[in-house]
Structure 1
Amino acid sequence: MLFLLNDVVFDLDEATPVTPADARRFEKLGFDYVLELGCELFAEDPMLHRNDPGRARRLAWLIADRSPEINAALFAAPEADCDPDLVEPRFCALPEAVIGQLGRQEKRGRLDAVAADKAVWNRLAA
């Protein structure tokens, strides 16, 4: 399963990003907790998806595991070390064709924040 986190496409099927023991530990975490965790992580580092892809991939896995219909998430933080309440989260269920195209752009090094925004989030339009 492909998952877009901000402007990085992760293949969550490549290898499980968590151990079976961790997966059991995470079973009880609800979507609201995962959302709060994502906001906290991106409040610390708005470029988490680029600076720590391992943690970002685990977050993507948690989101997809809690809400299988979601395959895209955006966490927009105004600056590093900001209050987690200032992080704006968005979620989306992209058609397979769209996320597949984004994945191909990623592999060619052509997916960036502007391209992801135009294809999915439309935050820069105005």
Structure 2
Amino acid sequence: MLFLLNDVVFDLDEACPAPSHDVRRFECLSFDYVLEMGCELFAEDPLLHHNDPARARRLAWLIAHKAEGVSAALFAAPQAGCAPELVEPRFCALPEIVLRHLHQRARRGALDAATADKTVWSRLAA
């Protein structure tokens, strides 16, 4: 399963990003908790998906497993070190063909924040 986190496409079908004993602990987490954790992570580092891809992939995996059908997440933080309440999270379910297209672009080095934003979130349209 492909998952878009900001402007990085992760393949979540690869080996589980967490040890099996951690996976069992994650089962009791609510989606609201995962959302809060994502906001905290991106408040610390708005470029988490580039600076710590392993951690970002684990977050993407948690979101995908807690929110059925969600295949893309955007965490927009105004600056590093901001309050987590200032991070704007967005989620959507992308068609598999769109995710594959974005994944191919990423593999060619042609996926950036502006392209992902325009393709998925349409925030630049206004």
TM-score (norm 2): 0.99
Q: 1:82 is matched with which residue?
A: 82
- Per-residue CA deviations over 1:74-121 (Å, capped at 9, x if unaligned) read 000000000000000000000011011000001110000011011101
Matched residue type, 1:93: A
Q: CA deviation at 1:31?
A: 0.2
What does residue range 56-95 of structure 1 map to in structure 2 within 5 Å?
56-95=56-95
Q: Note the C-alpha offset of 1:68.
A: 2.5
Q: Matched residues in 2 for 1:68 and 1:104: separation? A: 24
Amino acid at match of 2:43: A
RMSD of aligned residue pairs (Cα, Å): 0.5
Aligned pairs (5 A) from 1:7-26: 7-26=7-26
In the TM superposition, 1:46-65 aligns within 5 A as: 46-65=46-65
Q: Which stretches in structure 2 are left out of the alignment for 5+ residues? A: none
**Distance (Å, rounded) in 2 between the aligned partners of 1:68 and 1:97:** 18
Pairs aligned (count): 126
Matched residues in 1 for 2:23 and 2:66: separation?
12
* Structure 1 gap segments, 5+ residues each: none
Q: State the alpha-carbon separation in 2 of the partners of residues 123 and 78 from structure 1.
A: 14
* Counterpart residue number, 1:28: 28
CA distance in 2, matches of 1:102, 1:68: 21
Please say if 1:39 is aligned against 2:43: no
**What SS does the aligned partner of 1:103 have?**
helix
The alignment-based identity, stated in percent, is: 71
How far, CA to CA, are the matches of 1:36 and 1:11 in structure 2?
23
Query: Structure 1 CA distance, aligned partners of 2:68 and 2:3?
Result: 10
2:122 is matched with 122
Partner letter of residue 6 of structure 1?
N
Structure 1, residues 31-78: CA drift from partner, whole Å, max 9, x if none?
000000000000000000000000000000000010120000000000
In 2: Cα distance, 1:10 partner to 1:21 partner: 22
Three-state SS of the structure 2 residue aligned to 1:80 is: coil
Distance 2:74 2:34 in 1: 13
